[in-house]
Amino acid sequence: MRQSQLFTKTRREAPADEVSKNAQLLIRAGYIHKEMAGVYDLLPLGLRTFEKVVQIIREEMNNIGGVELHLSALQDPRIWKATDRWNDERVDAWFKTELKGGGELGLGFTHEEPLTLLMREQLSSWRDLPTYPYQFQTKFRNETRAKSGLMRTREFVMKDLYSFSKDEAEHAQFYEKAAEAYKRVFERIGLGEKTYMTFASGGSFSKYSHEFQTVCEAGEDVIYIDEASQLAINKEVYDDPEVYRTTGINKAMLKEAKAIEVGNIFTLGTRFSDALGLVYKDQEGSNKPVFMGSYGIGPARVMATVAELMADDKGLVWPTSIAPFRVHLIQLGEEGEVKKEAQELYEQLQTAGVDVLFDDRDLRAGEKFADSELIGIPLRVVVSQKTLAAGEFECVERSTGATHHRSLSDLLQYLSSSHA
Ligand code: ATP
Ligand code: MG
């Protein structure tokens, strides 16, 4: 993409009412736009990073047998009344609205109910199970606290996967697989080392659930980390002696940390299948309730977490796996030969399959470099009269500041090597 065609502008200052670091940086760098408290738009750069996060999650969900679908955001109250989750006293996050002709609708805050009901038309025999539908779908939540930028918004896309199994044992096998897939997701996104599988309350469904908590000062949660097992315990179950019996963790060894819940996995059991009549015929021909689980990740919250943790005083620093572009190609100077060389390199990189943002704007070097540092693309490649004379491009790593001079073939080789 040519930067001259990218309509977003970088800004020196974030909006005065924006308190969170992730939103300040993402707004200043032109990734997102604030509509109102807790509601943001994804601008072109933001959408590219968001889509990269989504694609990593999609690959890992497909890898464990996930099947993608897309459910509606508008929800029929009748289904939610059947599970007693329509009442505002039971669920305080609802956005509800009225139909012109009378009657109410809800804007979905999760999708257990409609998917369970939908599955009644699809699942009837033990042969149909297990199955793992998932989606990337917009949730609406009337969050009272919406001060953490993209981390807690009132409208957000969630990856929600639901498992439908024949019994608890089959469910437990998949639950393990899902936990492994989540670990791979967070490793690929660059959060692996700071993310702990965390014992948390199971809510009304089961004794425990598991959260994936990334250690970060900006986090809203408090967890207790056991380095030996690489597990953690959420504050909400810290005083429950059973959690130590279950995990074998020694309470005395735990270290307290603030963390962000980037994902979670839940055993639902037969709560929804019982309430909505989702049964299957087992091999003996008798009716059994389907055993369920749910598995969520918020891609925008993940993106905000990376922004919080990896930024420096100059701006954002993206890991290669989710950067909006791999290379920020910067043309310095308007001389004909510089323009020609930069244009050629732009085309060669694209031919080689490298995502490039090409800064072809007629601006001072200082401005271009400051923008580049704020935007945070992993590798900056400069074309100028100086680099033309040297016969090599100047390449600067955003994360370390390391500078190398590379010929075209060296650069292409570097970009195709696995560590790049
Ligand atoms: P939290 O405890 O942070 O309120 P939750 O337990 O309600 O989240 P789920 O409903 O299970 O979370 O959602 C699954 C995932 O969706 C979370 O792990 C998080 O990554 C993301 N998520 C939840 N709420 C929001 C929100 N308001 N804005 C952005 N992402 C969210
Ligand atoms: Mg939670």
Q: What is the pLDDT of residues 249-266, one digit of tens each?
A: 999 999 999 999 999 999
Please tell me the distance between residue 158's alpha carbon and the centre of ligand 1 in angstroms: 8
The pLDDT score that the predictor gives to residue 205 is 65
pLDDT at residue 15, as a whole number = 86
In terms of C-beta density within 10 A (0-12 exposed, 13-18 middle, 19 or more buried), how is residue 400 classed? Answer: exposed
From 134, 201, 261, 297, the mutation candidate for ligand 1 (largest count of ligand atoms within 8 A of CB) is 261
Q: Which of 286, 58, 35 is nearest to 149 (CA)?
A: 35
Ligand closest to the CA atom of residue 299: 1
201 sits in which H/E element: strand 195-201
**CA 163–ligand 2 middle distance (angstroms):** 19
What residue owns the CA closest to ligand 1's atom 4? 152
> CA-to-CA distance for 5 and 8, rounded, in angstroms?
9
Distance 190 CA to ligand 1 centre (A): 20
User: How many Å lie between the centroid of ligand 2 and the Cα of residue 222?
Assistant: 12
CB-based contact 274:221 (threshold 8 Å)? no
Which ligand has the minimum distance to the alpha carbon of residue 158? 1
Residue 130 structure tokens: 């297990």
Q: For residue 417, what pLDDT is reported? A: 86
- Enumerate residues 6+ apart whose C-beta is below 8 A from 27: 11, 14, 15, 18, 33, 34
Residue 204's pLDDT is 65
What is the position in ligand 1's atom list of the atom closest to the CA of 220?
A: 3
Spacing, Cα 156 to ligand 2 middle (Å): 15
pLDDT in tens, 28-83: 999 999 999 999 999 999 999 999 999 999 999 999 999 999 999 999 999 999 99
129 CB contacts (<8 Å, ≥6 apart)? 123, 164, 165, 166, 170, 280, 290
* CA–CA separation, 341 and 328 (whole Å): 15
Task: State the Cα–Cα distance between residues 364 and 360, nearest whole angstrom.
Answer: 11
- Residue 207 is predicted with a pLDDT of 86
**Residue 161 and residue 297: Cα distance in Å, rounded?**
9
- In this prediction, residue 146 carries a pLDDT of 86
| Most ligand 1 atoms within 8 A of CB, residue of 42, 95, 144, 152 to mutate | 152
Angle at 74 between CA 42 and CA 122, to 5 degrees: 110
Pocket test for ligand 1, best of 112, 143, 153, 158 (most atoms within 8 A of CB): 158
pLDDT at 147: 84
Atom 3 (ligand 1) nearest CA: 261
Residue nearest (by alpha carbon) to ligand 1 atom 18: 263
Report the separation in Å between the CA atom of 182 and the middle of ligand 1, taken as the mean of its atom positions: 15
Indicate which atom in ligand 1 lies nearest the CA of residue 294.
11
Q: Which of 378, 185, 150 is CA-nearest to residue 295?
A: 185
Q: Whose CA is nearest to atom 25 of ligand 1?
A: 152
Specify the residue with its C-alpha closest to ligand 1, atom 27. 152
Cβ distance 60 to 181 under 8 Å?
Answer: yes
Atom of ligand 1 nearest to the CA of 264: 18
| Cα(415)–Cα(229) distance, integer angstroms | 36
What's the CA gap between 391 and 405, in Å, rounded? Answer: 9
What does the pLDDT look like over 280-295, one tens digit per residue?
Answer: 999 999 999 999 999 9
Using CA atoms, how far apart are residues 381 and 345, in angstroms rounded to an integer?
10
**Ligand 1 centroid to 141 CA: how many Å?**
10
**Alpha-carbon gap, residue 378 to 324, rounded angstroms:** 9
What is the atom index within ligand 1 of the atom nearest the CA of 266? Answer: 11
CA–CA dist 194, 189 (Å, integer):
11
Pocket of ligand 1 (CB under 6 A): 110, 141, 143, 152-153, 156, 158, 261-264, 296-298, 300-301
DSSP state, 354? -
**For ligand 1, mutation pick of 155, 157, 234, 264 (most atoms within 8 Å of CB):** 264
Instruction: Calculate how far, in angstroms, residue 133's C-alpha sits from the geometric centre of ligand 2.
Output: 21
Distance CA 172, CA 307 (A): 34
Q: Which residues of the chain have pLDDT under 50?
A: none
Q: Are 357 and 1 in contact (CB under 8 A)?
A: yes
User: How many Å lie between the centroid of ligand 2 and the Cα of residue 340?
Assistant: 53
- Alpha carbon dihedral 194, 195, 199, 204, in 10-degree steps, equals 140
What contacts 24+ positions apart, CB below 8 Å, involve 8-13? 8/43, 8/44, 8/45, 10/370, 10/371, 10/374, 10/375
Q: What is the DSSP string of 61-121?
A: HHHTTEEE----SEE-HHHHHHTT--STTT-TT-EEEE-TTS-EEEE-S--HHHHHHHHHT
* Cα–Cα distance list, 163 to 32, 121, 177, 302, 340 (Å): 33, 16, 11, 23, 55
Q: Which residue's alpha carbon is nearest to atom 24 within ligand 1? A: 152
SS3 254: coil
Instruction: Tell me if the pTM is above 0.95.
Output: yes
The H or E element containing residue 38 is: none
87: tokens are 């009442």
Residue 168 CA, ligand 2 centroid: distance in Å: 23
Q: CB–CB of 226/262 below 8 Å?
A: no
Atom 6 (ligand 1) nearest CA:
264
Write out pLDDT tens, residues 44-53: 999 999 999 9
Please tell me the distance from the alpha carbon of residue 364 to that of residue 358, in angstroms, as a whole number. 15
pLDDT above 70 covers a percentage of the chain that reads 99
